[in-house]
Amino acid sequence: MEKDPFKEYLRESEPDKAGKGYAWSTAIGLQAVDGLKTSKYLIDTAIQNIEGKITMKEAQGLIDSYYEERPVHLSDEERTEEADKVSSRIAEILSENAFSFSPNEYISINRKLFQGIYKHAGKIRDYNITKKEWVLDGATVMYGSASELRATFEYDFSQEKDFSYKGLSIDEIIHHLAVFVSRLWQIHIFGEGNTRTTAVFFIKYLRTLGFSATNDIFAKNAWYFRNALVRANYTNLQKGIHETTEYLEVFLRNLLMNENNELHNRDLHISGLLNAEKVDIESKKVDIGSGKVDIQDKKVDIESVLSEKGKDFSIKTAVHIRRMFEKFGYDEVFGRSAVIELLDLKNSSASKFLSNLVQADIIRPVPGYGKGKYKFKKVI
């Protein structure tokens, strides 16, 4: 596992360094909600700011100059420039004390984060959206209707503003906060950047309620936060699945009460298969004659592979690998065209994806099927 470059600052006795360390760590961690990773240059620049060698504005200026002077050679899939710039902007907002609990503040945060990155930054979408979710096996949450966004958005704000926390236990407070943030996120008022905007706004709001929320929970579990929001807004009665805030509440207990509940994304998957316990190979005999492999064991296998060999992959790449494995398993042969069709990637991105998996020893070339054909390597 990669060493956390901000860990020492979070434990700093100097409040200024600890505060900046938290802001940068959270800002960078939040990029995981979209499967993005920041550059080493951004990390180095952040540390200079934490150490007091440069101001936040100077740090942002260095990041902007870095991308103005740097020839573009990274694929659109990586979006490193977006990750770096948005991280620096989140760090700045989290370092400021100013905040207003209002719809305009929420919209303003989106504009500040994504100005110059998305043309529609800070603008309410005028079209309906769907998003395939790994945690829902490819299904989508029912997001807010474009025709009702403003009204729904303002209603949720007014309800929360009038709500009284007086006399509530901490369990009741956490439950209410989970319901509020999940409803706010479900509206998905913008075309892009809704989760990062919601997280930043929510952290600032929590401070006004007396919660410091200055640990590393968002930094290390941003994708869990997003998946928990998804599960809080998805119901499928035919499959016996009901929306639930239980996962968000566990996340919030860690964030606000410094509890140490385990946060695993596989626990949120609606299939329940990724939550299976690892099989003790020594105590289980495989029926060679039947040739049948339990699909649950396969799921465990790919999680073990990702844990061992996929540590340096982005969240997005890990999701792609899971989808590939679910489609092809160990036995089917696949090539670039199959990857392009399944994952909706460009030719160059698909080639790079396959090359990375070969280098990571996750897939292997298969002879006898023509050039560029592969299979997943079986776990031994």
Residues 191 and 231 in one domain: yes
Residue 319 lies in a domain: yes
Same domain membership, residue 239 and residue 140:
yes
In a domain, 115, yes or no: no
pLDDT reported for residue 15: 60
**Could you tell me if residue 256 is inside a domain?**
yes
State yes or no: pLDDT of 5 exceeds 90: no
b/e map 307-324, b = 16+ CB within 10 Å: eebbeebbbbbbbbbbbb
Residues 6+ apart with CB under 8 A from 13: none
Q: How far apart are CA 149 and CA 188, in angstroms?
A: 8
Reported confidence tier of residue 59, pLDDT bands at 50, 70, 90: very high
**Could you tell me if residue 222 is inside a domain?**
yes
* Domain edge (last residue) among 242, 272, 302: 272
Q: What percent of the chain has pLDDT over 70?
A: 85
Is residue 244 in some structural domain? yes
Read off the pLDDT of residues 8-43 as tens digits, 9 standing for 90 and up: 655 555 568 888 999 999 999 999 998 899 999 999
Q: What is the mean pLDDT of residues 255-277?
A: 81
Please check the confidence at residue 185 and state whether its pLDDT lies above 90: yes
In CATH, what number is assigned to the domain containing residue 357?
1.10.10
The whole-angstrom separation of Cα 183 and Cα 202 is 12
Q: What is the DSSP letter of 143?
A: P
pLDDT tens per residue, range 351-375: 888 988 988 889 998 888 888 899 9
Residues 249 and 290 in one domain: no
- Tens of pLDDT, residue by residue over 317-347, are 888 888 888 888 888 899 998 898 888 888 8
Give the tens place of pLDDT for each residue, 60-105.
999 999 998 876 544 455 689 999 999 999 999 999 999 999 999 9
Residue 186: what pLDDT?
97
Verify that 256 and 280 share a domain, yes or no. no
CA dist 321 and 357 (Å) reads 9
What phi and psi values does residue 372 have, to the nearest 5 degrees? 75, 35
Backbone torsion region of residue 210, taken as left when φ is above 0, otherwise alpha when ψ lies between -120 and 50, otherwise beta: left
In a domain, 353, yes or no: yes
| Residue in 88, 89, 268, 109 with CA at minimum distance from that of residue 184 | 109
Range of the domain at 133: 123-272
Kindly state the DSSP code that residue 54 receives in the 8-state scheme. S
Total number of domains in the chain:
3
Q: Are 121 and 58 in contact (CB under 8 A)?
A: no
- What confidence score (pLDDT) does residue 74 get? 45
Is residue 238 in some structural domain? yes
| pLDDT number for residue 207 | 95
Are 78 and 12 part of one and the same domain? yes
Residue 83 shares a structural domain with residue 212? no
d(CA 46, CA 231): 33
Q: Which two tokens stand for residue 376?
A: 């997943």
Domain identity same for 76 and 42: yes
